[in-house]
Structure formats: structure tokens, C-alpha cells
Amino acid sequence: MTTSTIALRGTAVTTTAVLADAVVVVTGDRIAWVGPVEDCPAELVGLVGPAAPAGTTLLPGLVDVHCHGGGGASFPDATDVPTALRGVLEHRAHGTTTLVASLVTADAATLLARTALLAELAHAGELDGIHLEGPFLSRARCGAQNPALMVAGDADLVRAVAAAARGFLATMTVAPEVAGVLGRDGVLTALAECGALPSIGHTDASAELVEEALATAWTALAGPGARSGRPTATHLFNGMRPLHHRDPGPAAACLAAAARGRAVVELVADGVHLAPATVRAVFDLVGPGSIALVTDAMAATGMPDGTYELGPVHVRVSGGVARLADGDAIAGGTAHLLDVVRATVAAGVPLRDAVLAAATTPARVLGRADVGALESGRRADVVVVDGDLHPLRVLRAGRWVA
């Protein structure tokens, strides 16, 4: 079978620059060459078409490490593979070519069953990892999750979930103050041993306790088998004790670790979860190399307003904002990751930095050197967008996404 080669032309966003008129050459499922059109190798010039319409921009396929669903499908509620796949495809069609499916706090049997189901999709190459947001969380910072199902840390449950995930357990959100999370055979250590990253979130802990947890995770992730070396912070600021100058809490500790290159902080920079000034400040403080833009998306993404499920809780969506049906807490997001990139740029963050945080840094979180950037040798994941950063076409592993 002959391997096809195509050339895409437009403004290209690489890890080092925004190239005004560039070409991305794809051979088979790999990127073969990226650079300014005038530098295109002679043997490839014949593939290059005329200049693209004004505003046409080429981005790397985006990488979302925190997503609960979309297209009407909820990963925490899916009981069959086709339903879960619907959520994956909703985000893929909008530029997220590498996706981690997130679960929420539930009883052990449900977590194991959902993890096993998602592992089928991961094994088939449709998903790139599984994230558990709970159940070892603070009831005081439960957010849109059921506090009655939150339990003490259990390293044996971590190992059971990791076994059900078949090597695809990527991250788990934990609160350091919960009993059993820290300690010699605690959850943090068990996660690292299973090849998953601890993520600090839904926590009411002091800054000092979070510093201890991050240091413990950093040390544990230095061992063999770790997916990557840095723990993360689950949707920084959301589901955490607020930052106060006499009680800095989790956010300050996570920001400080990220600034030192010892953690990665998630930001749901969708225009709902965080103020634009907050987004700008975090980029200025820690830089895009320590930020992973995420959606925290739930089933309503790509769907009309209405009532949806997020695990054991009911969610009402009005004006595109998801909140608990019986309260006012934000209950996940309804944006695609490309929407988050657009909102981040609108907040004043340079496009290159926003793309680094939506593709390259989260790829590093997953320990993936084959995705997340427009670079020769990486998987051919390219998002073609217009001047307003709306998707035109999506290429994944060299194939156009329907």
C-alpha cells in the first residue's frame, strides 16, 4: 500500500514561534516537515498549494487531560462502549485529538466497572488515558460531587483501579488532608507505583500540607515506571480553599511548585470558571510550560441547554453554564478545548502560549513525546482553524476526522 503525502498551508503555531506562512507536510500518520513556505525542501515543493485564505491557522492536535464527556454522553455514567465513544468523538471533531476521560467520586464497584469500560476504548486507541476525580476528596470542597461517597485513602483500591485500567490510569485527584493519602503506603505512593500522577484538588488543606504532598509526589514520581515527573493540580482555584494572604491554602502551594517546575496546574480557562485576569496572572507567574488548559467538560458539551447527569448528581445547563440542579455550584464545563484556547487568547495570553498549554504541556503530563506539537516525527495531528480560532478541519494520525 502506498503511503500518501499531503501538505497543509497557513499560519503555523509551533513550540517556538508563530510562522506567518508555513507548510506542514504529512506522510502517512506522521508529520514529515514543518517550516516557512520559502524553506520547503525542493522534493516537497510540488505538494504545496497556493496561499491559504487569510486567517487560516494550523495548530497541533489539542490534548485534554480532564474531560467528563460531551455530545450528550457522560463518561461517569456510560455503561457501554458506544456511549463513551460518542463523548470522545464530540471533542475530537473540535480539535482534541488526545483525550483523557475523567470519572467522578463513586462507590468502588462503580469506579472499577467504569474504568474497565474506558480501558476498552483506550486499548483500541480511541482514548489516551483515564482520570479519577475522587473518591479521596474533601467533603468540605466537594463541588459538584457527592460528599457521601467520599472515603479515606485506600492504596489497595488505587491498585485495583490501575489493574482495571490496564495501564491507562493517567491521573487521580486527591485531597492531601484525607486520611490514607499521605504516608508510607498511602495513595500518593501507590499512584506513582502504578504509573499514574497524583493531582491535588477538591481540598481544604493548608499550604504547608499541600507542599508536603507535592514533595512526596515529586519524590515518588522519580522512581521507575512513572508516566512523567511532575504531579498536577486539578482545576486550580476551583474546588479549593480560596487564597488569602494570611491563609494561602492549596492554590499558593501549587502555584509555587509550578513556578519551580515541580508541578503542572490545570486551568479551566473557559470564561466561566476563572476571571480573565486570573488566567493572565497564572500564565505570567508560572508560564505555559507548567500549565495544562483543560475543559472539565461534561455531557452537555456540544448540546443544548437542559438537564444532564454527572455521576450521581443532576446538572442543569442554562446559557451554556453547568450548575448543580439543586444548588448553585459550577458542575463542570461545556466548552471544547479549542473554545478554552480562544477564551485564553481573549484574556490576553499570546496564541503560542495558549497552544503550548493546550497541547505540548499536557502531552508531557501524559509522558507522550509523539503528540502535542507540530514537529517532524510526531503523530500527524493538526487542527486547521480560521482567524477566529473556530475549527475548519481536524487531522488525527494522518486521517481527516469526520
Q: What cell numbers appear for 179 in the block?
A: 486520611
Dihedral in degrees, nearest 10, Cα atoms 33, 36, 42, 46:
90
Residue from 113, 76, 136, 128 nearest 297 by CA: 76
User: Rounded mean pLDDT of 181-194?
Assistant: 96
DSSP per-residue codes, 224-252: TT-S-S--EETTTTTTBPPPBTTB-HHHH
Residues 99-156: tens digit of each pLDDT? 999 999 999 999 999 999 999 999 999 999 999 999 999 999 999 999 999 999 999 9
Residues 359-395: tens digit of each pLDDT? 999 999 999 999 999 999 999 999 999 999 999 999 9
Residue 88: which pLDDT band, with cuts at 50, 70 and 90?
A: very high
Measured between alpha carbons, how far is 7 from 31 in angstroms, rounded to an integer? Answer: 10
Written out in words, the top-level CATH class of the domain with range 5-59+375-400 is mainly beta
Q: What is the pLDDT of residue 153?
A: 98
pLDDT at residue 3 greater than cutoff 90 = no
Measured between alpha carbons, how far is 93 from 90 in angstroms, rounded to an integer? Answer: 6
Q: What is the pLDDT of residue 152?
A: 98
Residues 304-327: tens digit of each pLDDT? 999 998 988 899 999 999 999 888
Measured between alpha carbons, how far is 262 from 225 in angstroms, rounded to an integer? Answer: 18
Q: What is the pLDDT of residue 327?
A: 80
Helix, strand, coil % in the chain, rounded to nearest 5: 30, 25, 40
| Prediction pTM value | 0.98
Q: What are phi and psi of 216, to 5 degrees?
A: -65, -45
Residues 260-305: tens digit of each pLDDT? 999 999 999 999 999 999 999 999 999 999 999 999 999 999 999 9
- Looking up cell 508555513, which residue turns up? 22
Q: What is the pLDDT of residue 123?
A: 98
Q: What are phi and psi of 117, to 5 degrees?
A: -65, -45
Residues β-bridged to residue 391: 385
pLDDT at residue 2 greater than cutoff 70 = no
**Taking the domains of the chain in order of start, what are their residue ranges?**
5-59+375-400, 62-365
Q: What cell numbers appear for 244 in the block?
A: 488569602
Q: What cell numbers appear for 377 in the block?
A: 516525527
pLDDT at residue 1 greater than cutoff 60 = no
Fill in the DSSP letter of residue 299: T
| Architecture per CATH, 62-365 | Alpha-Beta Barrel (3.20)
Count other Cβ atoms within 10 Å, centred on residue 399: 12
